[in-house]
Amino acid sequence: MDTELLKALKELLKDELKPLSDRLDRVEGKIDKNTLILEEVRGNIKSLAELHVAHREQNERAFDKADLLIQEKSDLIETALTNTTKELNGIKDSIEVLTEAVGKHEMDIRILKKRPV
């Protein structure tokens, strides 16, 4: 009878554990599926991180290039402004000399007009 009792207990445990075993199999399947999804997400995150780094480096290069171009243009404008200022000062001096000469000539003309001919 002990053998029969053991067989009965064994069958009873087998029947009771079957749903738990099935459930455990489903959980393991879901874990495997989630593991695959997690690996895919990790790969996507890694790709996004690499893309972000590439874009950042590209933006830094573009900024450096634009900054250099702006600096060169600024230097060119500064040089042109300095040269223009020098030229304007020269023109101003020439105008002053011409104004003095014209003034002198005008005075000479007035003197000549007053003289009897």
- The pLDDT tens digits of the residues spanning 12-30 come to 888 888 999 999 999 999 9
Q: How far is CA 52 from the centre of its chain?
A: 11
Q: Which domain, by its residues, includes 43?
A: 1-83
Q: Would residue 101 count as lying in a domain? A: no
Question: Would you state the structure tokens that stand for residue 76, as one six-digit string?
Answer: 């060119």
Asked, for residue 97, whether it belongs to a domain, the answer is: no
Q: Does residue 52 lie in a domain region?
A: yes
Tell whether 88 is covered by a domain. no
User: Residue 102 and residue 108: Cα distance in Å, rounded?
Assistant: 10
* Counted domains in the chain: 1
Residue 115 lies in a domain: no
Answer whether residue 100 is part of any domain. no
Tokens of 43: 């790969």
Q: What is the pLDDT of residues 50-101, one digit of tens each?
A: 999 999 999 999 999 999 999 999 999 999 999 999 999 999 999 888 888 8
Q: Examine residue 109 and state whether it is found in any structural domain, yes or no.
A: no
Answer whether residue 19 is part of any domain.
Answer: yes
